[in-house]
Amino acid sequence: MITEERLTIPASATKRFFYMIAIGLVLLVAGLIIAANFSGGHGEAHGAEAGHHAAGWGQRLLANLWMNNVYFSGIAVVGILFVAIQYVAYAGWSVLIKRVPEALGSYLLVGGVIMLLVFLVPIIFTGHNTLLHWTDHSLHEVGSPNYDPIIAGKSGYLNITFYTIRMVAYFTLWFLFFKWLRRESLAEDLNGGLDHYNKSIRLGATFLVVFGVTSSMSAWDWVLSIDTHWFSTMFGWYVFASWWVSGLAATTLTIIILKQMGYMKMVTSNHLHDLGKFLFGFSIFWTYIWFSQFMLYWYANIPEEVIYFQERLGGNNNHYTWIFFFNLFINFAFPFLVLMTRDAKRQMIMLKIVCIAILIGHWFDFYMMIMPGTMGGESGFGLIEIGTALTFLGIFLLRFTKELSKASLVPVNHPFLEESIHHHV
């Protein structure tokens, strides 16, 4: 008989997460003070020289909050997607690990609130949000000196009201499906039987449809609309691929850490092997999407299209060039070469290194997507960036570990539990 396995989060770990948040906030505030005092003279001089206004510390704070929240919310929603896919595919192997991605979704509530605040607070106080250029009303008014016919033409979709409604809708839908799938899963632990399983399959299938639409649309809204003039039909896929790989890496890393702490004894190298194949395959998938997007724009070389890559490669005084190549190295070359052999996918140490690399790499991927459009050539990598990232990581881990400890790590009454225990590749 399979018994429950409860995860107890030691108080020291929770304390560590709070320290993480505290240190992050201290670094963030210190960074902001330095930036505010430093960029006063610098911004003016640079602004006069380059003929455009320099991005200040406020903009930098907003951009960081936005970027980290998009990244962590993506990881959270990918957890639900993973569980949904496993149900729809009638997968057996993943039963022993499903409680980990299942718990990832708990961040969504926090993510939704932060996202709404970061979007709405600047609008309430200043009338528009400098992160998203199109929120400026004067761009849509014919006759205004700022009138921009291209942005005005998009105002049917990109207007503040509809945008807010969409944002609330994505988070509500994602969070509801997280709650529903979680509820069925926990009820199954108590009651057993096939009813909860069959209901989870129906929920999972519905979520796939919902996520298919909302993942693309949220990518347009939150990331693509920063570069309002530019568009890419691959963008939804691109953001999804980045989220998906990060989510898989987060899941795998958690499982490895839990195993090293002595939990999840029944998870063998066979399960890790499958997760490793996922990481390997979808790192290549991400690269495929990246290249498909890049090559078409590079080849056609139409000014209004290629500007996006000009800003990132060579433009902005080569500000982003190293990240551009670092992004390709750490998200493609590194996992591709390291995870190629069977042994690497079955050993925890190799997988762990790759997972950490991928998580850092895709953080930089979102940095590449968001910073050039919001900060121009002024983005930095200093106390503000590290502080914000640490704060978000701390909040994410608090929510995640709390949710993880709420239920048994082994879904004791899952109909495919036996199959998962005997999984062998």
Partner 1 sequence: MTSKKYILGVFNDEDVLLNAIEKTRAAGTKIYDVFSPYPIHGIDDVLGIQRSRLPIVAFFCGLCGTSFALWMQIYMLGFDWPMIIGGKPHIALPSFIPVTFELTVLFAAFGMVITFFIISGLRPTLKVPVMDVRSTDDKYVMAIELKEGTDISKLNDLLRSNGAIEVNEKEVVK
As measured in angstroms, the least distance from the Cβ of 340 to partner 1 is: 7
As measured in angstroms, the least distance from the Cβ of 264 to partner 1 is: 23
As measured in angstroms, the least distance from the Cβ of 294 to partner 1 is: 7
Interface residues toward partner 1, by CB under 8 A: 291, 294-295, 298-299, 301, 340-342, 424
Strand partners, 408: 6
Phi, psi (deg, nearest 5) at residue 182 = -65, -40
As measured in angstroms, the least distance from the Cβ of 275 to partner 1 is: 19
As measured in angstroms, the least distance from the Cβ of 288 to partner 1 is: 9
Nearer Cβ to partner 1 (170/297): 297
As measured in angstroms, the least distance from the Cβ of 350 to partner 1 is: 16
Q: Which of 107, 298, 80, 336 is nearest to 207 (CA)?
A: 80
CB atoms within 10 A of CB 27: 20
Nearer Cβ to partner 1 (206/270): 270
Pull the structure tokens for residue 274.
């499958």
As measured in angstroms, the least distance from the Cβ of 422 to partner 1 is: 10
For residue 225, how many C-alpha atoms fall within 13 Å in the half-sphere facing its CB?
A: 25
As measured in angstroms, the least distance from the Cβ of 343 to partner 1 is: 10
Pull the structure tokens for residue 410.
């082994």
Element (H, E) at 315: helix 315-318
Nearer Cβ to partner 1 (171/320): 320
The amino acid present at 131, given as its one-letter code, is L
Nearer Cβ to partner 1 (130/347): 347
As measured in angstroms, the least distance from the Cβ of 322 to partner 1 is: 18
Nearer Cβ to partner 1 (91/210): 91
Nearer Cβ to partner 1 (252/293): 293
Angle, CA of 270, 273 and 277, to the nearest 5°: 145
Nearer Cβ to partner 1 (45/295): 295
d(Cα 375, Cα 338) in Å, to the nearest integer?
A: 34
How far is residue 301 from each of residues 273, 294, 305, 310, measured CA to CA in Å?
42, 11, 7, 10
Phi, psi (deg, nearest 5) at residue 423 = -55, 135
Strand partners, 6: 408
Nearer Cβ to partner 1 (71/290): 290
d(Cα 378, Cα 372) in Å, to the nearest integer?
A: 8
Angle, CA of 174, 130 and 361, to the nearest 5°: 55
d(Cα 425, Cα 417) in Å, to the nearest integer?
A: 16
Nearer Cβ to partner 1 (168/295): 295
Contact of 227 with 97, CB cutoff 8 Å: no
Contact of 243 with 77, CB cutoff 8 Å: yes
Contact of 129 with 195, CB cutoff 8 Å: no
As measured in angstroms, the least distance from the Cβ of 342 to partner 1 is: 7
Nearer Cβ to partner 1 (113/333): 333
SS (H, E, C) 88-100: HCCCCHHHHHCHH
d(Cα 365, Cα 233) in Å, to the nearest integer?
A: 18
Nearer Cβ to partner 1 (172/292): 292
Q: Which residues contact 343 (CB under 8 A, 6 or more apart)?
A: 350
Total H helices, total E strands in the chain: 17, 0
As measured in angstroms, the least distance from the Cβ of 201 to partner 1 is: 26
